Amino acid sequence: MYYGYSTIWILIPAMIFAFYAQSRVKANYNKYAKVRNATGLTGADVAKEILRRNGLSHVQVVRGQGKLSDHYDPRSEAVTLSPHVFDQASISAASIAAHECGHAVQHSEGYAPLNIRSTIVPATNIATKLSPFLVLGGLLLASSGGLILLDLGIIAYIMITLFHVVTLPVEFNASHRAIEMLTDYGMVYEEDMVGTKKVLNAAALTYVAAMLSALLSVVRLIVLRNSRD
């Protein structure tokens, strides 16, 4: 178990970056949630109009629950927006709504990274549930069985890392589409664009942080494994 604690420093950069990313998300979201967008459109209005213009009127726009719980579900073909995003006509609301609609457009176009991510979701979910037990068992068992469990833990974390790597182009592309659609459809004026980009760029940092955390977890487990070999 000592080795487990002695290698925790490997994760410190990811912890620091994750804290920074979350602080930027909260700061930018809260700041621009108080700034009314120039068009006066709520997040729900923005989402419905973007979907309509892309021939996706069948995609539902649903009022969800919880702050920053916004997401697009390709199975039910529904864009779920948190109450503040759904109801408010702020820069933050318009930006987030457009981003989630970006995923809906990706889905309709068969965007490859999104398809890959959807395909590996089941395996990633299993890996996420099993990985802590595999690693703990690998650290507790001193026999060759411990090494086998650590190897399986490494494989699980590699699967998780792959999911986060694939997620990056999906999220960055959705934000790029959001900015283009908001601009092309006249839903964001020049004075709103700075805030829009800040909100979306800050959100993107959280996905980079998740990928970095998963990658460094793999590195840490490899170090642990080699120290036990």
Residue 171 designated active-site: no
Pair of tokens at residue 146: 């411990």
Q: What is the number of residues in the chain?
A: 229
| Beta-carbon contacts of residue 137 (< 8 Å; ≥ 6 apart) | 146, 149
CA distance 152 to 127: 10
d(CA 45, CA 86): 8
77, two tokens: 């073909």
CA distance 180 to 50: 11
Phi first, then psi: give them for residue 70, nearest 5 degrees.
Answer: -70, 135
For 71-89, give the DSSP string. Answer: EEETTTTEEEE-HHHHH--
Q: Which of 49, 100, 109, 190 is catalytic?
A: 100
Residues with Cβ < 8 Å from 8, sequence gap 6 or more? 220
Task: Check if the beta carbon of residue 98 is closer than 8 Å to that of residue 181.
Answer: yes
H/E element, 39: none
d(CA 228, CA 206) in angstroms, rounded, equals 33
Residues with catalytic function: 100
